[in-house]
Amino acid sequence: MQIPENLEECEEIDQDIIGQIPRRKARAGAMQVLSKLDLADGAHRDTVDWVSKELELDGKGRRFTVSIIEGVLERKGQIDGIIGRYAVEFPIEQLSTVDRNLLRISVFEIITDPTTPVKVVINEALELAKIFGGENSGKFINGVLGALVENRDSITADDQTGGLLPEGT
């Protein structure tokens, strides 16, 4: 699914494809907003409003979407550095917009949210990759996230000093 350039002329997002899982919808929305921002700089609030309406996100879903977007944007340099460690042959700027942003969202959640099981984060990324990504997106994302999880303790310790984690985490 392509992110429309002109949000007023966009087609509706197919609810059946994304599913009815609230957090999956929120992650899909975050991925779409981050992808839109990658393609064209702009105010993410307008795009969040559009995605929230199209995905029929309730207040909680919208807040989750916004927290992902803002968290990823605030820490994009550190997150991209982590992705780069595990996707050495694929520089971040050469990844598809969808793969890049699904990885960013997943890395952000894995590193900063101890309440969501890592398996859930990875599964959600793979499900969204099936919907929005290319033929090999799922395999690629699974490989990168699998390597990250194997080294999670060292990543957390290394990146806390780089500002990825709040102090005391």
The residue type at 60:
K
* Statement: residue 12 has pLDDT above 60: no
What is the C-alpha radius of gyration for the chain, rounded to an integer number of angstroms?
Answer: 15
* Statement: residue 157 has pLDDT above 90: no
* Statement: residue 5 has pLDDT above 80: no
pLDDT at 22: 79
Domains of the chain by start residue, with CATH: 19-160 (1.10.940.10)
Average pLDDT of span 95-124: 94
